[in-house]
Amino acid sequence: MEPIALKDAQHRLPELIEEAANGEDVVIARGDGATFRLVPVVQPERRPRQFGTARGLIHMADDFDEPLNDFKDHTS
């Protein structure tokens, strides 16, 4: 596809996005010679969460709630 001038692309943006989504090559040219390509980003399909898949991976120490030795001077 021939590059489209930025000024023209501003007026046709929804149409150009649709073309890119359909796999067409969309290139936009800026006045200083820089060119940009519209590339659709495909989001991966999200699977539903399965609760309990991390069961058994996290362990709490028996003394988890006990004061730390570093702070004994600050507790009564």
E strands present in the chain: 4-5, 26-29, 35-38
What's the pTM?
0.53
Q: What is the pLDDT of residues 31-72, one digit of tens each?
A: 999 999 999 888 889 999 999 999 999 889 998 888 888 887
4-38 maps to CATH 3.40.1620: yes
Residue 21 CA: distances (Å) to CA of 10, 45, 48, 76? 17, 17, 26, 67
pLDDT of res. 72: 77
Cα angle 63, 69, 72 (rounded to 5 degrees) comes to 115
